[in-house]
Amino acid sequence: MFDKLSDRLEQAMRTLKGQGRITENNVSETMKEIRRALLDADVSYKIAKEFTEEVKAKAMGQDVIRHVSPGQLLVKIMNEELTRLMGQQSSPLMLKPNGTSVVLMAGLQGSGKTTFTGKLALMLKSQGKKVMMVACDVYRPAAIDQLRILGEQIGVPVHSEPDEKNPVSIATRAVKQAKTEGYSVVLVDTAGRLAVDEAMMNEIAEIHRNVLPDQTLFVVDAMTGQDAVNTAAAFNQRLNFDGVVLTKMDGMPAAAPPSPSAIP
């Protein structure tokens, strides 16, 4: 995804190569190409338009520094604007300094919730926290086994109840057990659907009400495109989640066990 977008942006920047200065015409032409590249990458039209207009305004307000080409200056401005757009500060998980913190994973089926749960568990474990994962996806075939295998690979216990079909009960009992046994963090992996439906939203909302998570994370496949915004809005109305996790940023996940360096 990023390779393709990078190639398109590079092609757009060629318009300014060989130019001695930034002008209204050459910047406008370059911005048109960049807007097309962003739209082809499924960026919303509003965001693409606002981004290119902001870059153009800043570019037209600057003089080309000696020994710096117009293309290089525009790359610098674009980098600054992309950084501002994507967020300039990191926001760590807000966990309790003492006691047991509960983190609830929500999202559609296939978004990578289970894999991310394993990666997050490994990261927290490497920070010295006692972590438990909870398998609450009682619908997807082998979902519980997948989380168990991840748990075995990273040395993190998994609470599962294969014969129990009520995910609310599973989550509630798991959190109670974790608090009794002194776990620092409980990661609750929930079920998803192929699309947002009322049954799924009611179930995840009921789990949320019963376990009262300290953090609720919405996990979304980065390749979903603009539809991810609509899905996120639907989940946020019911859960008021604390953060969004984008998975598969570098393509489809590998089958190998997660490593600390692979944690988002």
Quick: pLDDT tens for 45-62.
Answer: 888 899 899 988 888 766
What's the pLDDT score for residue 42? 78
Looking at per-residue confidence, does 27 or 185 come out higher?
185
What's the pLDDT score for residue 2? 60
What's the pLDDT score for residue 115? 93
pTM summary value: 0.75
Q: How far apart are CA 102 and CA 95, in angstroms?
A: 8
CB-neighbour burial class of residue 242 (10 A; exposed 0-12, middle 13-18, buried 19+): middle
Looking at per-residue confidence, does 124 or 110 come out higher?
124
Does the structure show a pLDDT above 90 at 215?
yes
For the segment 202-211, the average pLDDT, to the nearest whole number, is: 94
User: What does residue 159 show for φ and ψ, rounded to 5 degrees?
Assistant: -90, 120
pLDDT band at residue 263 using 50, 70 and 90 as cut-offs = very low
Q: How far apart are CA 58 and CA 55, in angstroms?
A: 5
Q: How far is CA 44 from the centre of its chain?
A: 17
Counting Cα atoms < 13 Å in the Cβ hemisphere of 225 gives 9
Does the structure show a pLDDT above 90 at 216?
yes
| 7-31 pLDDT, tens digit each | 777 776 666 665 556 677 778 888 8
In single-letter form, the type of residue at position 75 comes to V
Question: CA separation (Å) from 238 to 15, 195, 200?
Answer: 47, 15, 11
| 74-98 pLDDT, tens digit each | 788 888 888 888 777 777 888 998 9
User: What does residue 11 show for φ and ψ, rounded to 5 degrees?
Assistant: -65, -40
Tell me 205's DSSP state: H
Helix/strand number for the chain, H first, E second: 9, 6
CB-neighbour burial class of residue 233 (10 A; exposed 0-12, middle 13-18, buried 19+): exposed
In single-letter form, the type of residue at position 33 comes to E
Question: CA separation (Å) from 50 to 47, 57, 176, 252?
Answer: 5, 11, 48, 30
For the segment 147-172, the average pLDDT, to the nearest whole number, is: 96
Tell me 257's DSSP state: P
User: Tokens 């870059």 map to which residue?
Assistant: 55
Q: What are the structural domains of the chain?
A: 2-85 (1.20.120.140), 101-262 (3.40.50.300)
Cα dihedral 47/89/102/106 (nearest 10): 20
pLDDT band at residue 240 using 50, 70 and 90 as cut-offs = confident
Range with top average pLDDT, 85-99, 166-180, 182-196: 166-180
For the segment 234-259, the average pLDDT, to the nearest whole number, is: 71
What's the pLDDT score for residue 65? 52
Does the structure show a pLDDT above 80 at 3?
no
